[in-house]
Structure 1
Amino acid sequence: MHKEITNPMADIFKYLAISILFMFIGFAFGQAFIPISVVQVANLILPFLIIGLLIMAILSKKSIIPRSFSMNYVYLFTFIDGILLYPLLSFYLQSLGTSIVINALLGTCILFGILAFISYRKKAGHYLGIGSILFAGLISLLLLCIINIFIGSQTLNILYSVLGILIFSGYILYDISLIKYDIESGNIISKNDLSIHVLNLYLDFVNILLDLLNLIYEFKD
């Protein structure tokens, strides 16, 4: 194995943590340089941001994005994503309060950790069989989000968030299982081979966080 990769699974979680950090750096950058007036239209930005994240998830899950590329591109993407998320996260911070947003973030971390541990304890490739079901769910989420732009139904919004949490939770099981399978199959030999896996896990994490915040917001109202 390439000297860069001594413990692929540990490295993936390390790079994932760095990616999430870059997202928050992007958020801080947005706070410093994006006018507060942008925050006031967060409700208008939300559907298009969610659609963008879903399309990105679809592209990555279907390997339309190359499977091996520099980790720097992942960091660049997550930094830009943090900037784009600034109005939405600011909206939630103002509407829900800092403590609730932090608790949602901690809850997402705990859920992610539990699901990753469950998948890691299983045999490599154990959850790969649910991939087609999850992908169909991902397409359904995209369509539901587009439909709700025109309908504006609170019920559909809640349904979307619940399904989103379930589907991306399933994808954590799937992605960790795939990573373990790729490691045991010898498909990960350099740092760049980890990039698509880190990107997938980042998208799982962020989508669950946004769905959880949206769910809390809907029930708070």
Structure 2
Amino acid sequence: METLQNFTNMMNNKLDQPIRGHLKNVYASIASATFAAAAGSFIHCNGYFEGGLLSALGSIILMCMLAFSRNPDGKDDGTRFMYLNGFAFCTGLSTGPLIDLVWDIEPSIVVSALMYTCVIFTCFSLSAIIAPEGKYLMLGAPLMSTLSAMLLASLLNIFIRSHTIAYMQLILGLLVMSAFILYDTHLIMEKFRMGDKDYIWHALTLFMDLASIFKHILILLADKEQGSRKKDNRR
């Protein structure tokens, strides 16, 4: 209890009241979006509606609607909050086929991926919040460069078809998206200080990081499980 109280006091000293309120809105919106995504995945996995091209298109449309209706003063009539949850729902539907595939391999992988994702997101978010102001903003250029290099490698691997390259890209992708939590959290805080109070858009940014981390972990754990089974079959 004393450790928790010390940590709370440190957070209160680190952040002033306005930015604490903003981050509270951001993370509450992320929580809501996460439940919406879970609902979308549940609907696909139980056969109520098949996720695929249509749901992916829905995600793009809703993200564009959020982008074109940006509101820097932070006021929202609920419409953009619905757009955010609609985007998350469509993202969950689109992720449904992957979850379905991994569930057939080993159901516990999905639960483990959720737990690992929550731990990574929480730890990196707290690290960003308590770090010195603007410390991780310098990560922007290296992360973008790394993403560009990974995109080129993905295009080349279409012809090479190397499992090793694909696996290394998954690991590197997980590291990059984890680092993006640090960068995006600091960027959100810096934008708020400059007058951008659009917590819905800020929540969308971090939710996309969260969803990407979950997918990377899901694929890595599934690949590991399949590799273990192949070794067992050879013995």
- What is the TM-score of this pair, normalised by structure 2? 0.73
Assess if the C-alpha contact under 8 Å between 1:154 and 1:218 holds in 2: no
Superposition map of 1:70-149 within 5 A: 70-95=80-105, 97-149=106-158
**1:33 pairs with 48, 60, 64, which one?**
48
Q: Which 4+ stretches in 1 moved above 4 angstroms?
A: none
After TM superposition, give the deviation of residue 79 of structure 1 in Å: 0.7
- Are 2:70 and 1:68 aligned? yes
Q: Which residue of 2 is the match for residue 12 of structure 1?
A: 26
Which consecutive residues of structure 2, in runs of 5 or more, have no partner in the other structure?
1-18, 72-79, 228-235
Query: Is 2:215 the partner of 1:215?
Result: no
Residues 125-168 of structure 1, C-alpha deviations (whole Å, 9 max, x = no match): 22111101111122223333333344332111211111111110
Tell me: CA distance 1:150–1:89, structure 2 relative to 1, closer, same or farther (3 Å). farther
**Which structure's CA Rg is the greater one?**
2
C-alpha deviation, 1:25, in angstroms: 0.9
Amino acid at match of 1:213: L
Deviations 1:64-112 (A, max 9, x none): x4582622222111111111111111101111x2222211111111011
Residues 115 and 172 in structure 1, CA contact (< 8 A), matched pair in contact too:
yes
Q: CA deviation at 1:202?
A: 1.0
Say whether residues 1:167 and 2:176 are aligned partners.
Answer: yes
**1:10-46 CA deviation, whole Å, 9 max, x = no partner?**
11111001111111111122233246xx9xxx9xx9x
Q: CA-atom RMSD, angstroms?
A: 2.8
Partner SS state of residue 68, structure 1: coil
Give the equivalent residue in structure 1 for 2:211: 206
Q: Distance in 2 between matches of 1:187 and 1:98?
A: 42
Aligned positions, number = 192
Per-residue deviation at 1:123? 2.7
Letter in structure 2 aligned against 1:127 = Y
Gaps of 5+ in 1: none
Percentage identity across paired residues of the two chains = 26
2: CA distance, partners of 1:18 / 1:83: 16
CA contact (8 A) 1:67 1:196 kept: no
- Provide, for residues 50-72 of structure 1, a one-character-per-residue CA deviation record: whole Å limited to 9, x for no partner: xx9xxx8xx99xxxx45826222
